[in-house]
Chain A
Amino acid sequence: MTAPRLELRHVSKSFHDNGLVVKALEDVSLHVMPGEFVTIIGPSGSGKSTLFNLIVGLLEPDAGEIRLDGRAYRNRTGRVAYMPQRDLLLPWRSVLDNVILPLELRGVPRSEAYRQAREMLPLFGLEGFEEAYPTALSGGMRQRAALLRTILTERETLLLDEPFGALDALTRRELQDWLLGVWSRFRQTVVFITHDVEEALYLGDRVIVLSARPGRVVRTLTVDLPRPRRRGLITLPEFGRQEAILLEALGISV
């Protein structure tokens, strides 16, 4: 049996704030298999972003361990691709110079980095905007640029932290379908945080539900929906049934 791409074993994390101890995560165990698309859902304050900061290596757990491909690294930074909630494009760089950032950090020659990035631009709907500054882009385009930058880290695992949270409902749906399209092509392992039940179900192979502070895994649901996903699925009774399970796990009565 292959090792999980990502595994958390009994991970806990607290923060100290003005002498107050805030428990963000308590005894969280989960695993994500290679090529799997896992969505994590939870109320605000359930430590979702803390979870990502731990996986990425910006934070260390108080207890428990984090394994990537079966190994517990001393320094995990740079091993998984991380896309935070905000697009965080550098305002002083053009789109092209923004997306090549991970390649630049690794010392890939600039011309080679540009070539790789240009190849991907059409798929990300950014063709013709290479030289534009981020301020000139729409919200959806900025998120796609941020995602292209994340993909160009060329890591096997993508951590996406509510990437479509700030977008309007229509753009969000458009990008969900587009993301599934990109994923079906590259088949990376994806961990996707959201607080939208429909989004969690529509995108994921599995949905992990976290509780409110401190975050604990309260339920894992293997999604019973065919791939490729189509919009029409949302109206099926199976979809509604699974949605109800998730809502119940979140403590919302249906």
Chain B
Amino acid sequence: MNFEATPTAPASISPHRRPRWIREAFPPALLIGFVVLSWQVVAERSGLPAFILPSPAQVWRAGWETRDLLGPAIGTTMLETAVGLVIALLLAVAIAAMMDFSPFLRRALYPILVASQTVQILAIAPLLIIWFGFGLLPKVIIVVLVCFFPMAVSTTDGLTSADPDLIALLRSMGATRAQVWRIVRLPAALPSFFSGLRVAVTYSVVGATIGEWVGGSAGLGLYMLRSKNALATDQVFVAMLITTLLSIGLFVLVYLIERAALPWYYSAQRAEQWEETGIY
């Protein structure tokens, strides 16, 4: 028998269209350029003193002049962030698996999960410093506190998102509970898990700097605090921008890992189809 084995045709791309990444990057680049330029003009023309509104050029210079301080500060902050993220990730996945395994644990743990996210970081941070000193540990705990919740919740939801019919089909084939978990429920949970991870990493750097601000002996948060105390507003901006860039960098990193790990979810085709239908 002969079938016309045609898969759904990929959306044709007209040859004169610009590469995708240029189409993606152009609008935000344009907007950012415009904002920076306006900022420069306003800072120069308004006559405001630099400790109130430094110009982008002054911020750039301040960053360059303090580069010897910034390098180690970034290193410290990133170390705290990375350690915190890894712990938060392991903890979140373990807790999500436990809550999935037992309804009793789910009921017991869920309120505590929510509480962990709603606790006032600014209130608990000084306590952590008092308990654990000025070193790495209190910052790591803060990062874990901020990052753990979105990952735990999204992974828990992801584990229950698998299609029940799919599970029934596997059971009809005689699959064990462990096989159903590995073959259906875990892969089905991955997109949600990554969504949670993306949210978590954007909080993580800020979490670490808060810890340093409240009681640190190193890091971007301390740099920020000292700059503020010295009315070196340009340096405050430097720290702010670096924190933002680091967060964006982590976000992009997770996004790239996600695309590599879930090729089926991010098939180029899907994105193109969305674009064709004008959902974007």
Contact = CB atoms under 8 A, between A and B. Distances in A.
Contacts of A101: 170, 173, 183
B267 A90 contact: no
B161 interface: no
B270 A135 contact: yes
B264 A91 contact: yes
A78 B174 contact: yes
A132 B267 CA distance: 11
A52 B10 CA distance: 37
Interface in B153-171: 163, 165-166, 168-171
A133 B267 contact: yes
Given A90-B184, A137-B7, 6 more contacts: A53-B168, A77-B172, A84-B165, A90-B166, A93-B264, A101-B173
B173 A129 contact: no
A227 to B, nearest CB: 17
A140 B1 CA distance: 14
Given A135-B269, A138-B7, A92 B262 contact: yes
A57 interface: yes
A125 B6 CA distance: 10
B124 to A, nearest CB: 40
Interface in A118-151: 125-129, 132-133, 135-138, 140-141, 144
15 contacts: A57-B172, A58-B168, A78-B173, A79-B174, A86-B165, A90-B166, A92-B188, A93-B264, A105-B173, A105-B175, A106-B174, A127-B5, A153-B173, A178-B1, A181-B1
Interface of B: 1-3, 5-8, 163, 165-166, 168-175, 179, 183-184, 187-188, 190, 262-265, 267, 269-270
A77 B183 CA distance: 18
Interface of A: 53, 56-58, 77-79, 82, 84, 86, 88, 90-93, 101-102, 104-106, 125-129, 132-133, 135-138, 140-141, 144, 153, 174, 177-178, 181
B169 A135 contact: no
Contacts of A56: 172
A88 B173 contact: no
A133 B172 contact: no
Contacts of B172: 56-58, 77-78, 82
Contact of B264 (A129, A135, A178): A135
Given A102-B173, A174-B3, A136 B265 contact: no
A197 B190 CA distance: 43
A129 B7 contact: yes
A138 B7 CA distance: 5
A219 B187 CA distance: 45
Given A57-B172, A177-B1, A141 B163 contact: no
A144 B168 CA distance: 20
Contacts of A91: 264-265
A82 B183 CA distance: 18
A18 B265 CA distance: 37
A78 B7 CA distance: 32
B177 to A, nearest CB: 12
Contacts of A84: 165, 168-169
4 tightest A-B contacts by CB? Answer: A78-B174, A125-B3, A56-B172, A82-B172
Contacts of A181: 1
A58 B1 contact: no
A88 B174 contact: no
A102 B265 CA distance: 23
A132 B1 contact: no
Contact of A88 (B6, B163, B265, B269): B163
A140 B165 CA distance: 20
Contacts of B166: 88, 90
Instruction: Determine which residue in B6, B264, B270 has the highest number of CB atoms from chain A within 10 A of its CB, and name it.
Output: B264
Contacts of B269: 135-136
B276 to A, nearest CB: 15
Contacts of B3: 125, 140-141, 144, 174, 178
A228 B238 CA distance: 80
A128 B5 contact: yes
Contacts of B264: 91-93, 133, 135
B170 A141 contact: no
